Amino acid sequence: MCWDAQAVILLRFLRVAQGGAKARTETQRMITEKVAALTEAQVAATVATLKGSKKHRVAKKALGVYARRVRRKRRLSK
Protein backbone atom coordinates (compact mmCIF):
# COMPACT_ATOMS: atom_id res chain seq x y z
CA MET A 1 0.00 0.00 0.00
CA CYS A 2 2.87 2.38 0.77
CA TRP A 3 4.28 2.32 -2.78
CA ASP A 4 0.83 2.64 -4.32
CA ALA A 5 0.07 5.66 -2.15
CA GLN A 6 3.35 7.31 -3.14
CA ALA A 7 2.60 6.69 -6.82
CA VAL A 8 -0.84 8.31 -6.48
CA ILE A 9 0.67 11.31 -4.71
CA LEU A 10 3.28 11.72 -7.47
CA LEU A 11 0.74 11.39 -10.28
CA ARG A 12 -1.60 13.87 -8.64
CA PHE A 13 1.24 16.31 -7.99
CA LEU A 14 2.25 16.16 -11.65
CA ARG A 15 -1.33 16.72 -12.78
CA VAL A 16 -1.77 19.73 -10.46
CA ALA A 17 1.64 21.15 -11.43
CA GLN A 18 0.48 21.38 -15.05
CA GLY A 19 -2.07 23.98 -13.99
CA GLY A 20 -5.20 24.92 -15.83
CA ALA A 21 -8.61 23.29 -15.80
CA LYS A 22 -7.21 19.76 -15.29
CA ALA A 23 -5.42 20.91 -12.14
CA ARG A 24 -8.58 22.48 -10.71
CA THR A 25 -10.59 19.37 -11.53
CA GLU A 26 -7.97 17.08 -10.00
CA THR A 27 -7.78 19.17 -6.83
CA GLN A 28 -11.55 19.09 -6.40
CA ARG A 29 -11.67 15.35 -7.13
CA MET A 30 -8.86 14.72 -4.65
CA ILE A 31 -10.76 16.45 -1.85
CA THR A 32 -14.00 14.66 -2.68
CA GLU A 33 -12.27 11.26 -2.81
CA LYS A 34 -10.51 11.82 0.52
CA VAL A 35 -13.77 12.69 2.29
CA ALA A 36 -15.49 9.65 0.76
CA ALA A 37 -12.61 7.35 1.73
CA LEU A 38 -12.63 8.65 5.31
CA THR A 39 -16.37 8.08 5.57
CA GLU A 40 -16.09 4.57 4.15
CA ALA A 41 -13.21 3.73 6.53
CA GLN A 42 -15.17 5.02 9.52
CA VAL A 43 -18.19 2.92 8.56
CA ALA A 44 -16.00 -0.18 8.11
CA ALA A 45 -14.36 0.37 11.50
CA THR A 46 -17.70 1.01 13.19
CA VAL A 47 -19.26 -2.14 11.73
CA ALA A 48 -16.23 -4.20 12.79
CA THR A 49 -16.40 -2.71 16.30
CA LEU A 50 -20.12 -3.41 16.61
CA LYS A 51 -19.50 -7.01 15.56
CA GLY A 52 -17.08 -7.33 18.48
CA SER A 53 -13.87 -7.50 16.47
CA LYS A 54 -10.55 -7.02 18.21
CA LYS A 55 -8.70 -3.72 17.77
CA HIS A 56 -6.24 -5.01 15.17
CA ARG A 57 -9.13 -6.35 13.05
CA VAL A 58 -10.93 -2.99 13.27
CA ALA A 59 -7.77 -1.21 12.12
CA LYS A 60 -7.29 -3.73 9.30
CA LYS A 61 -10.84 -3.10 8.05
CA ALA A 62 -10.33 0.67 8.05
CA LEU A 63 -6.93 0.47 6.34
CA GLY A 64 -8.32 -1.97 3.80
CA VAL A 65 -10.55 0.80 2.49
CA TYR A 66 -7.54 3.01 1.79
CA ALA A 67 -5.54 0.12 0.31
CA ARG A 68 -8.33 -0.63 -2.20
CA ARG A 69 -8.70 3.00 -3.17
CA VAL A 70 -4.99 3.64 -3.72
CA ARG A 71 -4.65 0.63 -5.98
CA ARG A 72 -7.15 2.29 -8.34
CA LYS A 73 -4.70 4.75 -9.88
CA ARG A 74 -5.34 3.91 -13.55
CA ARG A 75 -7.14 7.18 -14.21
CA LEU A 76 -4.14 9.21 -13.06
CA SER A 77 -1.63 7.27 -15.11
CA LYS A 78 -3.32 8.18 -18.42
pLDDT tens across 14-26, in order? 989 999 998 999 8
pTM of structure: 0.73
CA distances from 29 to 5, 12, 21, 51, 65 (A): 16, 10, 12, 33, 17
Comparing 5 with 41, the larger pLDDT belongs to 41
Taking the C-alpha atoms of residue 68 and residue 22, their distance in angstroms, rounded to an integer, is: 24
pLDDT (mean) for 45-63: 96
For 54, phi then psi, to 5°, come to -75, 165
Taking the C-alpha atoms of residue 43 and residue 47, their distance in angstroms, rounded to an integer, is: 6
